[in-house]
Amino acid sequence: MLLEDYFDFQRPDDIRLKGTRVGIETILYEFIHRSRTPEEIAESYPSLTLEQVYATILYYLHNKEAVSAYMTDWLEWSHKMQEEQRRNPPPVVAKLIKFKAEREAMKKADDSQLYS
């Protein structure tokens, strides 16, 4: 089996483990940025085998420059999407934020009455 046989190259910016919906960025983020071991990663993602985790890490090590660029693009896109969601939250999230603010205002009002 070739190393590339472990992956489904859907697009240049979307590489997934064959037979799953898990992108290589998921495993590599855990490995590179969170310093998790392959065993810890496999435990966290029951749909993956330890062999798939090792194959992803090996693919990264064999293609470090290209995969590092892939990860950089993914991280930039993730940050952009997080900022977009922060600025324009879905209606249910906006409603929860409003509810939380109202509760905190009520709590402050109750606290100030206790100490008056």
> At 82, is the pLDDT very low, low, confident or very high (cuts 50, 70, 90)?
confident
What's the whole-model pTM score? 0.70
pLDDT in tens, 34-54: 999 999 999 999 999 999 999
Q: Is the pLDDT of residue 115 over 80?
A: no
Distance CA(42)–CA(27), nearest Å, equals 9
Cβ-Cβ contacts under 8 Å for 5 (sequence gap 6 or more): 18
Banded pLDDT at 59 (limits 50, 70, 90): very high
Nearest residue to 29 (alpha-carbon basis) of 4, 66, 60, 52: 60
Tell me how far apart the alpha carbons of residues 53 and 107 are, in angstroms, rounded to a whole number.
48
- Write a three-state SS string for 26-75: HHHHHHHHCCCCHHHHHHHCCCCCHHHHHHHHHHHHHCHHHHHHHHHHHH
**CATH topology for the 3-88 domain:** Arc Repressor Mutant, subunit A (1.10.10)
